[in-house]
Every structure is written in structure tokens, then in C-alpha cells.
């Protein structure tokens, strides 16, 4: 079956269309610090507005665990959405209920209403099919059609992602279409050389994608906290750096598999080691096999790839035709340990082909470091969803849309 798109819903003028967006943006003191996911939703919303639909936006924000916690309110997001759309956007302070129903009924053609955080309702993420379905039925009563456009949650079997689209005429929005088109290029006959850059804290988060992509890539670059498990697997001491002891044998297997397949598995040759996990921690750059040689000894903690490694990674990335990057190279939130991530991001902007930033912390990093979205071929809105797609997994939120 083919993915159902907006065209499959027919004429939407005057119809109430519920749109599941992913507006899970970072907030600090009620202020949005990165509105990338809000901006990513604009394409679908503008299409529906121009079609004369009465748009009801639903989303989650954070993990309020089924409680109405003010710090997780979508109110600031509704305000920002209105600014970006250049039109008034109404906000319903409850997800369901009489007041919400009245707010939906008050919508005119082309108007937008944002409902409060879906995860204020425990049923949204319940493991019980019956509880999720009951909540989805309440949401379905608010609309005539459903559009799924929150790519960042399509790997979740949740009420608004999996159950709701089965209760109304449903289709994927333009954001999901774009994400799938790009990710398909990463898995089906990618232009070569094809390089995958993996970082972030844990090897265990990337196991599936490493296994699935090893037979498909030319170069695999390893940075971030996960690099220390690779170094330890080679027999090097890593001090107090992040380490997953239970993954050492598996990592050794990846090294052997890469060699057997002729894949260049490129590990850091130098590392920035600090006296502790703090922005002002004393630090030094050392060879990757000499992490405990600093004055910090076995208390040293690796917080970034070194400049030699960053330059080597940049050369491989810039000379590739297809690049997928997921996971920062270091603790980019601390200026002293952001250089590796900055160099990798800059190299990705110079790819003569397709360069993809794989969502999550990687997307936050490039924006925090001053890069513009337009400098990259694509910035995914779903880190976990992107990885699971590349692992070859079936994603529940796409299955129900015919994918």
C-alpha cells in the first residue's frame, strides 16, 4: 500500500481537520529556545488553512506523566505558531471537554486552534489498547478528518498517533512526506561515497542502526560518548568517560564486521579530556589511547573529540555524496567542548550531495551553534523515528497511514 497523502482527503473546505504535529520544543522559563519543530509544521498547516479547513492542532510537550503541569503547557507554542503564521491562533486550555468542544465549534474556515498538551492525559501513552482507544474516540469527536504530521512520534504506539487515525479519514501531512522521501534516499541506492556519523551518549541507542547500515555504507564515523565503548573494546583505558561495559563484545563484533565488509570504521585519534563534567572544567587534548595520561589520571572524563579527529571527520564528510549524522560529537552545551560538533556540522554544510542532520540533539546542536536550517540538505524532526526507520523497523504511526 502507498502512503495516504492530503489529496486523498478530498475537499477540506469547512471541515474540521485534526492535525497531529510534533511541537515538543525546548522551553526555558516559558520561552521557546528552539522553534524548529514549530516551523517544520507550517507547510501542512498553511496548506490546510488555504484549503479552508478548520484546523485543530494537537501535540505533546515533554513528559508530564498524565498530570496538568504548567511548565509543560502548549500555550507559548500556540503564541509562537500564531506569530509564524501571521494570524491569530486560538488556544484551548484543555485537551477534551465541553469548553474544548465549544472552541472547536467556534472555528471558522481557515482558522486554527491548538489544544492543550496531549500527555496531560495518561491515556495518550497508555499500554492499554482500551484506554488509548477511549481517549482517541474523544479526540475523534472533535474532527471530520485527521492529518498525521508529527514525524518525531510515528514510532510510538500512542492514542493520537496510532489509534486516532483509525477512527477518522486520515492521511500524512507534507512534513512526513518530506521526511520519508529523504530517509528513503538514505536506504535505497544512496549516492556514494555514503558516510554515516554517529555520536551521542550510548552505543546501545545506536545498535540497530549500526547493524542495519554496515552493509550499506562506505564510511562509519564514531564520536560522542559512545566512542569510549569502542576505545575500551580495543583495550584502551577511558577513565571516567561514558562506558557501556555490557556492549564491549558487540562493539568488537562491529569492528570485525566493518573490516570484513570493507567499510571504513573511523574512530577518534584524539580526545578532549576534562577534570569533571562542568563547563569550566580544566581540560586537555590527548591521544585517544592515552586518556588516563593527563594530570586527572583515571578520574579524567572525555567530553569531546579532539581537533585532529574533527579535521579527519570533516574531510571524509565533505568528500561524501550522502551523509547521515545523528548525535553530537561532545558536550556541545559547554562551549569548551563544542568544537568537535561545530566542525562536523560545518562539514555537513559543504556536502556536494545530500547531507542529513538526524534530528534530536543533533538538530538542537546545529541551531545552538549558530547554523541555519537552510545550510543543510535536511534536518529531521525525529531523532528516534529516523533511527528506527533506518534500522528497518516498522513504525506504527506510518502503518496506519498505509505505509
For residue 115, the cross-strand partners are 92
d(CA 61, CA 8): 29
Cα angle at 300 between 265 and 314, to 5 degrees?
35
240 is catalytic: no
Q: Are 33 and 15 in contact (CB under 8 A)?
A: no
Catalytic residue from among 4, 16, 20, 37: 37
CB under 8 Å to 52, separation ≥6 — which residues? 12, 13, 14, 109, 110
Would you say 236 is a known binding-site residue? no
Tell me the C-alpha to C-alpha distance, in Å, between residue 259 and each of 220, 298, 301, 380: 11, 31, 29, 30
Would you say 62 is a known binding-site residue? yes
d(CA 3, CA 127): 26
Q: CB 94: neighbour CB atoms within 10 A?
A: 16
37 is catalytic: yes
Would you say 206 is a known binding-site residue? yes
d(CA 58, CA 115): 6
Would you say 144 is a known binding-site residue? no
Would you say 59 is a known binding-site residue? no
**Which residue's entry shows cell 512520534?**
153
From 332, 334, 390, select the one nearest 366 (Cα to Cα).
332
Tell me the C-alpha to C-alpha distance, in Å, between residue 103 and each of 13, 84, 232, 236: 18, 22, 58, 62
Please provide residue 248's backbone torsions phi and psi, each rounded to the nearest 5 degrees: -60, -45
Would you say 333 is a known binding-site residue? yes
From 327, 340, 328, select the one nearest 387 (Cα to Cα).
327
d(CA 231, CA 248): 9
From 136, 141, 88, 97, select the one nearest 116 (Cα to Cα).
97
Listed in order, strand segments (DSSP E) in 199-300 are 219-222, 264-266, 270-274, 283-287
Q: Are 146 and 119 in contact (CB under 8 A)?
A: no
306 is catalytic: no
Would you say 3 is a known binding-site residue? no
Catalytic residue from among 225, 300, 360, 383: 360
**Which residue's entry shows cell 564520536?**
223
Catalytic residue from among 39, 46, 69, 202: 202
Would you say 180 is a known binding-site residue? no
For residue 379, the cross-strand partners are 357
Catalytic residue from among 276, 384, 393, 402: 384
Would you say 23 is a known binding-site residue? yes
Q: Per the annotation, where are the binding residues?
A: 22-24, 37, 60-63, 119, 156, 206, 302, 333, 359-362
Q: Per the annotation, where are the binding residues for ATP?
A: 206, 302, 333, 359-362
Q: Per the annotation, where are the binding residues for substrate?
A: 22-24, 37, 60-63, 119, 156
**Annotated active-site positions, please?**
37, 202, 360, 384
Amino acid at each position: 500500500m502507498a502512503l495516504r497523502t492530503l489529496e486523498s482527503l478530498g475537499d477540506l473546505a469547512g471541515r474540521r481537520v485534526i492535525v497531529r504535529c510534533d511541537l515538543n520544543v525546548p522551553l526555558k522559563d516559558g520561552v521557546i529556545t528552539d522553534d524548529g519543530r514549530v516551523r517544520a509544521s507550517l507547510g501542512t498547516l498553511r496548506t490546510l488553512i488555504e484549503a479552508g479547513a478548520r484546523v485543530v492542532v494537537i501535540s505533546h510537550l515533554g513528559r508530564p506523566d498524565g498530570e496538568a503541569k504548567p511548565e509543560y503547557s502548549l500555550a507559548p507554542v500556540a503564541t509562537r505558531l500564531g506569530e509564524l503564521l501571521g494570524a491569530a491562533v486560538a488556544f484551548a486550555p484543555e485537551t477534551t471537554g465541553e469548553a474544548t468542544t465549544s472552541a472547536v465549534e467556534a472555528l471558522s474556515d481557515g482558522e486554527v486552534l491548538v489544544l492543550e498538551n496531549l500527555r496531560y492525559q495518561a491515556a495518550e501513552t497508555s499500554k492499554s489498547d482500551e484506554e488509548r482507544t477511549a481517549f482517541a474516540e474523544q479526540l475523534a469527536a472533535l474532527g471530520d478528518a485527521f492529518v498525521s504530521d508529527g514525524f518525531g512520534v510515528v514510532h510510538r504506539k500512542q492514542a493520537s498517533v496510532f489509534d486516532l487515525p483509525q477512527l477518522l479519514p486520515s492521511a500524512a501531512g507534507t512534513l512526513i512526506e518530506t521526511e520519508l522521501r529523504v530517509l528513503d534516499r538514505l536506504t535505497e541506492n544512496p549516492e556514494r561515497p555514503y558516510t554515516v556519523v554517529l555520536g551521542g551518549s550510548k552505543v546501545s541507542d545506536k545498535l540497530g542502526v549500526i547493524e542495519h547500515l554496515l552493509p550499506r555504507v562506505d564510511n562509519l564515523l564514531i564520536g560522542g560518548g559512545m566512542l569510549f565503548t569502542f576505545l575500551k573494546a580495543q583495550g584502551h583505558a577511558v577513565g571516567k568517560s561514558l562506558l557501556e561495559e555490557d556492549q564491549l563484545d558487540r562493539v568488537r563484533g562491529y569492528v570485525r564486521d566493518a573490516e570484513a565488509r570493507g567499510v571504513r570504521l573511523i574512530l577518534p585519534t584524539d580526545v578532549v579530556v576534562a577534570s569533571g563534567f562542568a563547563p569550566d572544567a580544566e581540560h586537555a587534548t590527548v591521544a585517544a589511547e592515552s586518556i588516563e595520561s593527563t594530570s586527572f589520571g583515571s578520574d579524567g572524563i572525555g567530553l569531546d573529540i579532539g581537533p585532529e579527529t574533527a579535521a579527519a571527520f570533516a574531510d571524509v564528510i565533505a568528500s561524501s555524496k550522502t551523509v547521515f549524522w545523528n548525535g553530537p560529537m561532545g558536550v556541545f552545551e559547554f562551549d569548551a567542548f563544542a568544537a568537535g560538533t561545530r566542525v562536523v556540522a560545518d562539514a555537513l554544510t559543504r556536502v556536494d550531495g545530500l547531507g542529513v542532520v538526524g534530528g534530536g540533539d543533533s538538530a538542537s546542536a546545529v541551531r545552538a551553534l549558530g547554523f541555519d536550517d537552510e545550510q543543510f540538505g535536511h534536518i529531521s524532526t525525529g531523532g528516534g523515528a529516523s533511527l528506527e526507520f533506518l534500522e528497518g523497523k516498522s513504525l506504527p504511526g506510518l502503518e496506519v497511514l498505509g505505509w
